[in-house]
Amino acid sequence: MGIFDNTRVFNGRCVGISNEGAGVVRIEEKGAKEDGMKIFITDMLPGEKGKVRITERKNNMTYGEKAGQIAPSKSRVKPVCPEFPKCGGCQLLHARYESQLQMKESMVRNCLVRMGRFPEEEIRACMERILPASDQYYYRNQIQYPVEYSREKRCVNIGLYERSSHKIVEHEKCFLADPAAEIVRKVSQLFFSDFANIEAAKALRQVVVRTGLMSKEMMVIFVISKQVTIDAEAFVATCNDALKEAKNGMRLISIWTEERPEGIKWKNPKGVWTNIWGETTIREFLANRVFRISPDSFFQVNSKQAVVLYDKVKEYLRYDGFLPRVLLDLYCGTGSIGIYCSDACHHLIGIESVESAVIDARNNARSNFIEDTEFIFGKAEEYDFGGMMPDAVVIDPPRKGCDEKLIQRLLELGPTRIVYVSCNPATLARDLQRFFQLQQEKGVKYGIKKICPVDMFPGTTHVETVVLLSKSNM
């Protein structure tokens, strides 16, 4: 880590936004060695200019801060949330929504050009305009609230983390979460601050709330460090009374605990799941499909935009009048993409590494009266596809992207088209670059036909991208 002389001040112009929401600022000092240097500065928007200083260099990245008055961009607005400067849940609430969309489009395009090394004119030619969200606020159907127990006050604080810290921000309400989840958070804070529940409070690490925005069903997951007794009946009664008073139609129907002992790595941990009250799943509706969701199953966090996203996937599967005979859905989760797109193929095969999600997927296929489906428990990158011959493949990997081994297997399968759904433009660019490098060795050729960003997460820098790869005749 390098510390710079922070008494030196430079003229800077913000030219973009980083994945973390910091302004990408270019120093404009002719003749100085720093001229043209890019630094990351919090709370600067593209187009803004002013005095800045460099503060540190870490992991080959240079960071700075504002050193005086900044000429504000026309895109800048007053954030609706008073905690925005501190809270790490949002990054772009200080920008007009139209500007957020432009920034996300640029982010996807820049990643593909600079990291993926694709010609910019080719990317611009096949890239569609970003699909906006109908709701900018209160859209999240899942939220994780960290819990902090105070031994001095003998109570808990439940909220969201400050930026780049593990300190909890006290807030009145989150403008991205479903308001019903915020009701559960407030009930949880009072409930676990009661002396009768103090032992459970000491073990509590997170309160996770999952909401069926369309079904009005809710699930709460208490992440605990050890087995404790929780009076679920009393908690449910208090929550449902508060939800009834809010007149939002929501009701809590499921409570789980996930035990993660102290010392376990919290990145992708494997906890012990226990259903301590009510149903084991909740339902959510996407258009004319119904989905059951288990506590540890992946499901898109924005239900309304999931329909927009999946409609685009279906459009790409049907591009040029194509109708796949066999559709392979990798990282399929609860089967939501494949089942939603089942009328765009004859036979559906899904592969997923979370066993409860596979069970959900099979049940979801039955609930939607969809035949000719198979859902297989296993890791996509390790699965033996054998003689499988899919016409089309949908890939929706986690943020880390695809394993190179899977990319090689896809090229061996040689489907007519591949639809890649990405939640991370950087790993998307990397994977596509790998794909096109490896295809020369495999003797097949694909081209990028279409690219469409979808705004699933207004107020944040996160963006989904759908890419259509089409096989060419060599």
* Whether residue 127 is found in the same domain as residue 146: no
- Please give the pLDDT value at position 305: 97
* Whether residue 321 is found in the same domain as residue 455: yes
- Please give the pLDDT value at position 79: 95
* Whether residue 376 is found in the same domain as residue 419: yes
Q: Is residue 344 assigned to a domain?
A: yes
Tokens matching residue 457: 């997460």
Asked if 275 and 301 touch (Cβ cutoff 8 Å), the reply is no
- Please give the pLDDT value at position 3: 55
Residue 262 DSSP code: T
* Whether residue 339 is found in the same domain as residue 465: yes
- Please give the pLDDT value at position 146: 95
Q: Are strands 464-471 and 38-41 parallel, antiparallel or unpaired?
A: unpaired
- Please give the pLDDT value at position 153: 74
The whole-angstrom separation of Cα 311 and Cα 199 is: 48
User: Which amino acid does the sequence have at 311?
Assistant: D
* Whether residue 60 is found in the same domain as residue 129: no
- Please give the pLDDT value at position 150: 84
Q: What domain count does the chain have? A: 3
Q: pLDDT for 309-323, tens place per residue?
A: 999 999 999 998 888
- Please give the pLDDT value at position 11: 94
- pTM score of the predicted model: 0.92
* Whether residue 148 is found in the same domain as residue 275: yes
Residue 127 DSSP code: B
**Strand, coil or helix: 304:** helix
Give the CA radius of gyration of the chain: 24
The whole-angstrom separation of Cα 37 and Cα 54 is: 10
* Whether residue 172 is found in the same domain as residue 57: no
Other Cβ atoms less than 10 A from the Cβ of 362: the count is 18
**Strand, coil or helix: 243:** helix
Residue 167 DSSP code: P
Q: Which residue pairs from 34-38 have beta carbons closer than 8 angstroms and sit at least 24 positions apart in sequence?
A: 34/10, 37/62, 38/62
The whole-angstrom separation of Cα 355 and Cα 172 is: 37
The whole-angstrom separation of Cα 129 and Cα 102 is: 9
* Whether residue 307 is found in the same domain as residue 413: yes
Q: For residue 423, indicate whether it is catalytic.
A: yes
Q: Is residue 180 assigned to a domain?
A: yes
- Please give the pLDDT value at position 421: 98
Asked if 14 and 49 touch (Cβ cutoff 8 Å), the reply is yes
- Please give the pLDDT value at position 269: 56
- Please give the pLDDT value at position 151: 81
Tokens matching residue 316: 């790409």
* Whether residue 276 is found in the same domain as residue 147: yes
**Strand, coil or helix: 268:** coil
**Looking at residue 49, which CATH number applies to its domain?**
2.40.50.140
Residue 128 DSSP code: P
* Whether residue 239 is found in the same domain as residue 366: no
**Strand, coil or helix: 104:** helix
Residues 6+ apart with CB under 8 A from 312: 131, 452, 454, 466
- Please give the pLDDT value at position 263: 61
Q: Is residue 76 assigned to a domain?
A: no
The whole-angstrom separation of Cα 357 and Cα 338 is: 13
- Please give the pLDDT value at position 113: 97
Ranges of residues in the chain with a pLDDT under 70 are 1-6, 263-270, 473-474
Planar angle of CA 128, 303, 367, nearest 5 degrees: 115
Tokens matching residue 363: 């049940």
**Strand, coil or helix: 155:** strand
User: Which amino acid does the sequence have at 452?
Assistant: C
From 239, 332, 423, 452, active-site residue: 423
Question: Which H or E element spans position 41?
Answer: strand 38-41
* Whether residue 128 is found in the same domain as residue 256: no
In angstroms, the first-to-last Cα distance of the chain is 50
- Please give the pLDDT value at position 92: 95
The whole-angstrom separation of Cα 283 and Cα 276 is: 18
Backbone angles phi, psi at 97, to 5 degrees: -60, -40
User: Which amino acid does the sequence have at 41?
Assistant: I
Could you tell me the residue range of the domain that residue 451 belongs to? Answer: 102-134+302-471
Q: Which of 371, 317, 326, 328 is nearest to 351 (CA)?
A: 328
The whole-angstrom separation of Cα 273 and Cα 221 is: 9
Name the E strands within 122-239.
Answer: 142-150, 155-158, 160-161, 168-169, 204-211, 217-224
* Whether residue 336 is found in the same domain as residue 441: yes
Tokens matching residue 130: 């970003």
Dump the DSSP string for 320-343: GG---SEEEEET-TTTHHHHHTGG
